[in-house]
């Protein structure tokens, strides 16, 4: 009963609103309840269908697309990162190889140099020895020559003097007396001739 009265009141108020606005040259068409039910019906129908299609078919697809793009971008970034790391390790390897070859080349160079120095030293030693030997030999020879020289000279002097005397005087002179004189002279003047 109360409900019925309420409904009557609502309808009455609608009617009054409609009448009031109708008086003012048409009023607000929004407050005309003629098509309210129709509008509600079509709103529920269109919005409901749109909501169902969007929520069941379209929005999951868009979300899926976004997710897959995100994951793909992440994958690509990861792959790029990995490749960068790879290239870095390769660069390090390359650097190491270069360093190794450099040290190798250095050591080879050093070895070659040492070998060459050794060879040179050895050859020089041999040459030095030869030269020393030759020098000592020559010195010995010189010494020998020098040692023999005064005797020979004395002898030559004695012989020449005795021959000279023989030719001048025509008589045999005693060799021993001549040699005594030559010895004496050579002893006195030896310093002048040999520089001893």
Partner 1 sequence: MAANPMSQFDVYRIGPEIKVGAFDISFTNASLFMIISTVSILLIFNLGSKKNSILPNKIQLLAELSYTFVSKMISDTAGSKAKPYFAFIFSLFMFVLFCNMFGMIPYTFTVTSHIIVTFVLAAFIFIGVTVIGFIKHGFGYLKLFVPSGVPAVLLPLIVVIEIISYLSRPISLSVRLFANMMAGHTMMKVFGGFVISLGIVGGWLPLSFSVALTGLEILVAFLQAYVFAILTCIYLNDALNLHH
Please give the residue ranges that form the binding site for partner 1 (CB under 8 A). Answer: 25-32, 34-44, 46-47, 49-51, 53-55, 57-59, 61-66, 68-69, 72-73
Output the DSSP codes for 98-156: HHHHHHHHHHHHHHHHHHHHHHHHHHHHHHHHHHHHHHHHHHHHHHHHHHHHHHHHHHH
CA 86 to chain CA centroid, Å, is 19
Q: What secondary structure letter does DSSP report for 33?
A: G
For 19-54, letters b (16+ CB in 10 Å) and e give eebeeeeeeeeeeeeeeeeeeeeeeeeeeeeeeeee
Residue number, 16 or 142, with CB nearest to partner 1: 16
Q: Which is nearer to partner 1, 12 or 142 (CB)?
A: 12
Q: Which two tokens stand for residue 22?
A: 């109708």
Choice between 67 and 128, CB closer to partner 1: 67
State in angstroms the smallest separation of the CB of 68 from partner 1: 6
Distance CA 175, CA 173 (A): 6
CA distances from 95 to 34, 66, 81, 83, 85 (A): 88, 43, 21, 18, 15
Q: Least distance from C-beta 56 to partner 1, angstroms?
A: 8
Instruction: Find the shortest distance in angstroms from Cβ 2 to partner 1.
Output: 21
Residue 110 CB, nearest approach to partner 1 (Å): 58
Q: Which is nearer to partner 1, 65 or 166 (CB)?
A: 65
Nearer to partner 1, 39 or 143 (CB): 39
- The least CB distance from residue 14 to partner 1, in Å, is 11
């Amino acid at each position: 009963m109360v409900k019925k009265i309420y409904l009557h009141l609502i309808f009455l108020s609608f009617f009054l609103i409609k009448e009031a606005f109708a008086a003012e040259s048409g009023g607000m068409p929004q407050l005309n309840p003629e098509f309210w039910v129709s509008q509600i019906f079509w709103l529920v129908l269109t919005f409901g269908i749109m909501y169902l299609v969007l929520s069941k078919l379209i929005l999951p697809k868009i979300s899926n697309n976004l997710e897959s793009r995100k994951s793909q971008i992440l994958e690509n970034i990861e792959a790029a990162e990995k490749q960068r790391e790879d290239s870095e390790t390769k660069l390090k390897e390359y650097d190491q190889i270069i360093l190794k070859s450099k040290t190798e080349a250095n050591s080879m160079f050093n070895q070659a140099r040492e070998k060459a120095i050794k060879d040179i030293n050895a050859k020089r030693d041999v040459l030095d020895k030869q030269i020393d030997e030759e020098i000592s030999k020559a010195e010995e020879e010189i010494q020998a020559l020098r040692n023999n020289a005064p005797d020979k000279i004395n002898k030559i002097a004695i012989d020449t003097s005795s021959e000279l005397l023989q030719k001048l005087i025509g008589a045999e002179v005693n060799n021993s007396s001549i040699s005594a004189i030559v010895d004496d002279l050579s002893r006195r003047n030896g310093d002048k001739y040999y520089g001893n």
